[in-house]
Amino acid sequence: MMDVVIAYLYRSNNNDVYMKILEGFKMPKAYNSNPQNFYSIKLQRSLYRLKQLGCMWYYCLSEYLLKEWYNNELICPCFFIKKSESDFAMIVVYIDDLNIIGTTGEIQKTLKKKFEIKYLGKTKFYLGLQIEHLVNRIIIH
């Protein structure tokens, strides 16, 4: 299980997003002739709590993984897989968390090259399932 640190800040806006000016923001003197709620600002980058952030992050990640030769099917858009003669990786995306199965070489080569990733250990809970790792098997409750 891995977490992408500041995942939502990797992608700049690909659509124009405007927001109201927050209370307490000091407007330049040239704009003081109208009330503050008359104006809005255009965002140049992502901002936390923005409704579009989840989609913007997913498009950033999927665009990058597809360039790195990962396969992705329309029927399951959050599942990416890559196989070569010596390495393989399967990545399941859930918001900004990645559940990854694969060879260390492929994971290091692909993800850490672009994103800052924090290793969270073996997956113990995922989407309401409890996962138990034993010596020769994995049990899912």
Residue 80: what pLDDT?
92
Query: Is the pTM higher than 0.85?
Result: no
Helices (H), 30-115: 53-67, 104-110
**Kind and range of the H or E run holding 131:** strand 129-133
Q: How confident is the model at residue 100 (pLDDT cuts 50, 70, 90)?
A: confident
Written as six digits, the tokens of 112 are: 């850490």
Mean per-residue pLDDT, 12-21: 71
DSSP, collapsed to helix, strand or coil, labels residue 105 as helix
Q: What count of Cα atoms within 13 Å lies in the side-chain half-sphere of residue 36? A: 11
Greater confidence, 112 or 100? Answer: 100
Q: Measured between alpha carbons, how far is residue 137 from residues 19, 105, 122, 130 in Å?
A: 51, 23, 13, 14
Find all residues with CB under 8 Å of 55, minimum gap 6, and list them.
Answer: none
Residue 49: what pLDDT?
66
Greater confidence, 88 or 15? Answer: 88
Mean per-residue pLDDT, 47-61: 74
Fill in the amino acid letter for 41: I
